[in-house]
Amino acid sequence: MQKYLLIMLLPLLLFATQNDDKRKILWVDGSANFARLNSEKNIEKILDRAADVGFDLIILDLKLISGEVLYPSNYAPQILEWKGTKRNKDLNYPKVFIREAHKRNLEIQASINVFSEGWKNKKRGIIYTKRPEWQTKLYTSEGIIPTTEYEKGYSAFVNPIRPEIQEYEIKIIKEIISKYDFDGIVLDRARYDNIKSDFSNYSKKKFEQFIDTSLKNWPEDIFTWEKANKEWHINPGKYYKEWIYWRAKNIHDFFTRVRDTVKKYTPEINFATYVGAWYPSYYKLGVNWAHPEYIPQYEWALDNYHKTGYADVLDYLMTGCYFYNVTIEEIQSINRKSKANQEAGIEEVIKTYHTVEGSAKMSMKVTKGKLPVYGSLYVQQYKDKDNPEQFIKAVKMVLNNTDGIMVFDICHLEDFDWWKYLEKVFVQ
């Protein structure tokens, strides 16, 4: 009987041992938690809960998608009010977070939304007030328009390659690590907005210099828009692959520059980023987060595309495994049921990497084991379907298949009281 119980418990004991070694990261969004974390008492309370559950690293969002920051800055506007709540003037937000996190043996790192400088539906940020000329130009099915005139999305991006913009963002990063004793700096939205960006005259000239050719048909030499089944699709043009490579190279070079800046100032500080885990389509954002030793075999990639991979300049990477379906087996049954519709062109097959399991394994594959990779989960996805068991399943999947987990966001754990479900996994 004892032997039987040991056999039954062995998988749980093995998971607990492996789980103890895995990094557990909690993200604190700046806008979503603006009112909740407006006092020292509330910060202390929430960090107590995080430490008790088993988290060991806090990511504190300091520069929001509006470009506003949660500290007094010499460069960026400080956010002092959000949705009717005014910032407590006596609260030194980052200083209190750092002090209280370290008291609880929690590491704490600062996150900044890099190339997002405006909140579209709020019309907040320097893209609306001081720097409208910085905004990215989007090539849509209706033509080339400024991002502030494009209704979709909520982040208003700037053009990542303009020198004055890069200088601005780097000044903010240097300011944060010089003013506060953070254990690391995390870049978020350090990318292009989407495949439509950036089609400004400035980018056109820089791309022409890169390929050493004057484009005769702009922007059609990059791609054209075609409508099929009532949806707009891209038809790659003559220089589409070169354009994909060039954008990824631009972001790679920016990351290298930021890392050099950060490490020169504070060598021991961590340098990391967050990306979406859907690697085969993430190129549309101008990002290659793989290790340069990984050679992608996709129709959009040039033979030397791997050189744009920036994982080798990071200390660690967080990848968003943001899918409700956890296992590959789950979607295989869905795909079988919808096969007739797929053949009729009504539905697309769900990709294996559009699962927590598939995206976690993809994350490890393309980074080649060269750095720690932490799969990330979006709590809201499981709450929307009121399925905490699916959330628990996803947490275990990420911990089993990557080097740790990042949970987004602390506000969801508070609002839904889902701390208890993490305790089931973290605290064995």
Res 427: pLDDT? 87
- Identify how many contiguous H helices and E strands the chain contains and give both numbers: 15, 16
Res 34: pLDDT? 98
CATH, domain range 21-193+240-327+353-426: 3.20.20.80
Whose tokens are 């460069």? That residue is 75
d(CA 296, CA 282): 12
Inter-residue contact 350 to 357 (CB < 8 Å): no
Inter-residue contact 101 to 108 (CB < 8 Å): yes
**Long-range interactions of 310-313: CB distance < 8 A, separation 24+:** 310/251, 310/252, 310/255, 310/256, 311/366, 311/367, 311/368, 311/370, 311/371, 312/370, 312/371, 313/255, 313/256, 313/259, 313/271
Tokens of 345: 């062109």
Q: Where are the domains of the chain?
A: 21-193+240-327+353-426
Q: Which of 48, 83, 89 is nearest to 64 (CA)?
A: 83
Res 345: pLDDT? 44
pTM of the predicted model, to two decimals? Answer: 0.93
The one-digit pLDDT tens for each residue of the chain (428 residues) are 445 444 555 555 454 545 678 999 999 999 999 999 999 999 999 999 999 999 999 999 999 999 999 999 999 999 999 999 999 999 999 999 999 999 999 999 999 999 999 999 999 999 999 999 999 999 999 999 999 999 899 999 999 999 999 999 999 999 999 999 999 999 999 999 999 999 999 999 999 999 999 999 999 999 999 999 889 999 999 999 999 999 999 999 999 999 999 999 899 999 999 999 999 999 999 999 999 999 999 999 999 999 999 999 999 999 999 999 999 999 887 776 655 444 444 445 789 999 999 999 999 999 999 999 999 999 999 999 999 999 999 999 999 999 999 999 999 999 999 999 999 999 86
d(CA 244, CA 286): 7
